[in-house]
């Protein structure tokens, strides 16, 4: 849910302003309102420094070697010295990489000509003998050239041939071949240079690897310091100067749950405050607070957008559906068991920052186990087959492909209706009951259509419901308009029935992905079983292919099982729930990076 906010204005004497800001930073609850003011040069410089720190941390992580033997004597204490050393090593590494590229190109050019001494060429030229280097395709080489000129073949590297012709000063070689220039150095000398560059690159990598967890932690603390300092200067910039700059006005939002602490601080410091309830037009920040289960899915909603302050947070409403959709898309109890066990084991030693993600993995793995049992699939094995008759009554809860198809459509119909119900609640909350008539009419119409086409429970009553729903849509789709404009807009609104049909058909992907994953698993098993017939190495190939095939299928199917429920959530569900979004995240002053 969205935590309610209060809007605060603080009037502070200019001499007390710095101390007041320090106190706000320690409280860490106020989201500063950003005014359209010019950013100071100090803030720009701090942002640049923050960027450099983050890039340096990432650079150190990319060069970290787990098995590297660290030397504690080489630890750098000061963060500025760490940044300076990283910058120097990074620059030298870039220069060395460039040198290596040039040397490799030179080696590639010089290698066909073998080892030679440049002084020999100079001596020949001094004696009046000139050398010309040529290369051509082997098929274009004319043996008569060797009779006509003093020619020596140096190397043959198919499809090319490399040769030299010795000439006197006034002679010319008139042959159809590519004239080459002598390499500045021979390949042997260049290889020595390459070894030196590689040796230096290795030392640079070792120096970066030596900057271990201590330096990374040091930079992270420094990052927090710079970030906090940047925030303080930003708050100074955002404070308006009143009464000849003797009074500073600062405005911001605070969650109702943290209001008591803020008020107590202002009373203790004798700060004049004015606070008002938040209106949607104030564009307050969004602070989400959900139960432990729904909280795991908050990051999924953030991938799309934060809700606006005036609407409902959809996280707790789409979370159970997303879990079910993932389980149905992956649809293999064996794969679900792997995800569940893997997430559980890794959670024991993983960083706490990953715990929520791994907890989500546990829930999604559990959903996959449940729906894998319901669809009767275990590592590509069809549990509804005759071979698994020993499962007995357990197979009664398993669905065949037709039943899974129908189940996917039923789930889709339920979520669409549920989304319309949320739209009703949102519109009543924001605008009043008149604006909720249209989505309510759509709910009645969809149920009536379902009854006429499939259920056949109420007979002609459903037709009257449809007529009534059409009338409501024509007359109440825009309560602020007159009757005639309403009817015109209502006719267009009724065309939206095609959208509902398209939305419902989109849920077939839940069935299709589950079936495709099961078929791929079945194919993997079939190919692996055929490998058993191979003499000697058959059992080994059988195991290796099972691991590889099911591993690949698991990765592909898991990606699809995440992406497609994401689409159903953001397109079908959000649209029917009337989601507007556009909210900005609550970022309290003094909070962590």
pLDDT confidence band for 580 (50 / 70 / 90): confident
- Buried-state track 39-62, b at ≥16 Cβ within 10 A, e below 16: eeeebeebeebbeebbebbebbee
Residue 593 scores a pLDDT above 60: no
- pLDDT computed for residue 200 by the predictor: 92
Residue 244 scores a pLDDT above 80: no
Averaged over 258-269, what is the pLDDT? 86
pLDDT confidence band for 479 (50 / 70 / 90): confident
* Higher pLDDT among residues 239 and 579, named by residue: 579
Averaged over 498-520, what is the pLDDT? 89
Task: Give 315-338 pLDDT, tens digit per residue.
Answer: 999 999 999 999 999 989 999 999
Averaged over 6-34, what is the pLDDT? 86
Residue 279 scores a pLDDT above 90: no
Task: Give 386-425 pLDDT, tens digit per residue.
Answer: 777 777 777 888 888 898 999 999 999 999 999 999 999 8
Averaged over 74-88, what is the pLDDT? 82
Token code pair at residue 525 = 């098993």
* Higher pLDDT among residues 501 and 71, named by residue: 501
Task: Give 153-209 pLDDT, tens digit per residue.
Answer: 998 988 899 999 998 877 888 888 999 888 888 888 899 999 999 999 988 888 888
pLDDT confidence band for 75 (50 / 70 / 90): low
Q: Are the beta carbons of 197 and 103 closer than 8 angstroms?
A: yes
Alpha-carbon distance 118 to 184, whole Å?
8
- pLDDT computed for residue 557 by the predictor: 92
Phi, psi angle pair for 537, to nearest 5°: -95, 5
* Higher pLDDT among residues 464 and 523, named by residue: 523
Q: What angle do CA 144, 145, 148 make, to 5 degrees?
A: 90
- Angle of helix 315-330 versus helix 401-430 axis, rounded to 10: 170
Residue 68 scores a pLDDT above 60: no
- pLDDT computed for residue 70 by the predictor: 56
- pLDDT computed for residue 57 by the predictor: 86
Considering all CA atoms of the chain, what is the largest pairwise distance in Å, rounded to the nearest integer?
A: 114
- Angle of helix 333-349 versus helix 355-375 axis, rounded to 10: 160
Q: Is 588 exposed, middle or buried (0-12, 13-18, 19+ CB in 10 A)?
A: buried
Mean residue pLDDT of the chain comes to 86
Residue 486 scores a pLDDT above 80: no
pTM: 0.75
Domain ranges of the chain: 5-64+215-282, 116-185
Q: Residue ranges of the alpha helices (H) in 331-400?
A: 333-349, 355-375
Q: Are the beta carbons of 549 and 555 closer than 8 angstroms?
A: no
**Mean pLDDT lowest among 32-36, 378-382, 480-484:** 480-484
- pLDDT computed for residue 18 by the predictor: 83
The residues, ordered by sequence, that sit 6+ positions from 124 with a Cβ below 8 Å of its Cβ are 130, 131, 166
Token code pair at residue 242 = 């009143």
| Cα–Cα separations (whole angstroms), residue 551 to 345, 361, 547, 556 | 18, 17, 6, 9
Averaged over 542-547, what is the pLDDT? 92
The 3-state secondary structure of 534-553 reads CCCCHHHHHHHHHHHHHHHH
Residue 66 scores a pLDDT above 90: no
Residue 309 scores a pLDDT above 90: no
- Residue 529: other Cβ atoms inside 10 A: 12
| Cα–Cα separations (whole angstroms), residue 251 to 6, 33, 61, 247, 329 | 11, 6, 39, 13, 48
- Locate tokens 């106190």: which residue? 23
- pLDDT computed for residue 443 by the predictor: 87
Alpha-carbon distance 586 to 325, whole Å?
30
Gyration radius of the chain's alpha carbons: 36
Token code pair at residue 193 = 């240079």
Averaged over 102-119, what is the pLDDT? 85
- pLDDT computed for residue 242 by the predictor: 83
Averaged over 22-51, what is the pLDDT? 84
Residue 547 scores a pLDDT above 90: yes
- pLDDT computed for residue 477 by the predictor: 77
- pLDDT computed for residue 71 by the predictor: 57
Residue 72 scores a pLDDT above 60: no
Averaged over 504-519, what is the pLDDT? 90
Q: What percent of the chain has pLDDT over 70?
A: 97
Alpha-carbon distance 420 to 573, whole Å?
9
């Amino acid at each position: 849910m969205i935590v309610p906010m209060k809007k605060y204005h603080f009037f502070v004497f200019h001499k007390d302003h710095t101390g007041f800001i320090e106190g706000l930073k320690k409280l860490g609850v106020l989201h500063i309102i950003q005014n359209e003011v010019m950013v100071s040069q100090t803030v720009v410089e701090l942002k640049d420094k923050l960027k450099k720190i983050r890039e340096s941390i990432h650079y150190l992580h990319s060069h970290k070697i787990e098995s590297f033997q660290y030397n504690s004597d080489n630890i750098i204490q000061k963060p500025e010295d760490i940044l300076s050393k990283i910058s120097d090593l990074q620059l030298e590494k870039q220069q060395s990489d460039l040198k290596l590229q040039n040397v490799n190109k030179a080696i590639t050019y010089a290698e066909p000509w073998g080892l030679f001494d440049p002084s020999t060429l100079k001596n020949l030229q001094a004696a009046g003998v000139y050398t010309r280097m040529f290369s051509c395709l082997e098929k274009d080489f004319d043996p008569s050239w060797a009779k006509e000129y003093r020619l020596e073949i140096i190397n043959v590297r198919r499809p090319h041939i490399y040769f030299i012709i010795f000439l006197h000063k006034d002679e010319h070689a008139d042959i159809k071949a590519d004239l080459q220039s002598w390499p500045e150095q021979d390949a042997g000398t260049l290889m020595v240079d390459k070894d030196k560059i590689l040796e230096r690159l290795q030392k640079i990598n070792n120096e970066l690897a030596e900057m271990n967890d201590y330096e990374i932690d040091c930079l992270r603390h420094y990052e927090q310091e710079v970030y906090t300092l940047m925030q303080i200067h930003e708050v100074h910039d955002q404070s308006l100067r009143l009464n000849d700059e003797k009074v500073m006005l600062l405005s911001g939002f605070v969650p109702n749950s943290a209001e008591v602490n803020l008020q107590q601080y202002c009373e203790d410091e004798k700060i004049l405050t004015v606070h008002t309830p938040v209106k949607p037009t104030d564009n307050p920040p969004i602070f989400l607070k959900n139960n432990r289960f729904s909280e795991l899915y908050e990051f999924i909603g953030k991938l799309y957008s934060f809700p606006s302050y005036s609407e409902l947070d959809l996280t707790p409403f789409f979370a159970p559906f997303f879990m079910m959709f993932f389980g149905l898309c992956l649809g293999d109890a064996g794969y679900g068991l792997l995800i569940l066990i893997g997430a559980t084991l890794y959670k024991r030693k993983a960083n706490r920052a990953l715990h929520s993600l791994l907890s989500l993995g546990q829930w999604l793995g559990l959903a996959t186990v449940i729906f894998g049992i319901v669809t009767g699939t275990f590592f590509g094995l069809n549990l509804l087959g005759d071979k698994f008759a020993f499962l007995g009554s357990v197979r009664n809860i398993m669905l065949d492909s037709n039943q899974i198809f129908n189940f996917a459509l039923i789930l889709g119909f339920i979520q669409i209706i549920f989304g319309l119900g949320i739209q009703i609640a949102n519109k009543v909350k924001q605008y009043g009951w008149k604006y909720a008539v249209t989505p309510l009419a759509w709910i009645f119409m969809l149920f009536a259509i379902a009854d006429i086409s499939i259920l056949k429970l109420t007979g002609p009553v459903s037709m009257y419901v449809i007529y009534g729903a059409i009338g409501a849509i024509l007359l109440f789709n825009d309560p602020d308009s007159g009757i005639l404009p309403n009817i015109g807009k209502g006719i267009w609104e009724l065309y939206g029935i095609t959208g509902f049909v398209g939305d419902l058909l989109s849920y077939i992907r839940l069935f299709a992905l589950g079936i495709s994953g099961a078929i791929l698993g079945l194919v993997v098993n079939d190919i692996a079983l055929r490998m058993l017939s191979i003499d000697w190495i058959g059992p080994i190939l059988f195991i290796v292919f099972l691991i590889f095939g099911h591993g690949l299928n698991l990765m592909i199917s898991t990606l699809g099982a995440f992406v497609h429920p994401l689409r159903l959530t953001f397109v079908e569900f959000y649209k029917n729930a009337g989601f507007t979004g556009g909210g900005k995240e609550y970022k309290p002053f003094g909070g962590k990076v």
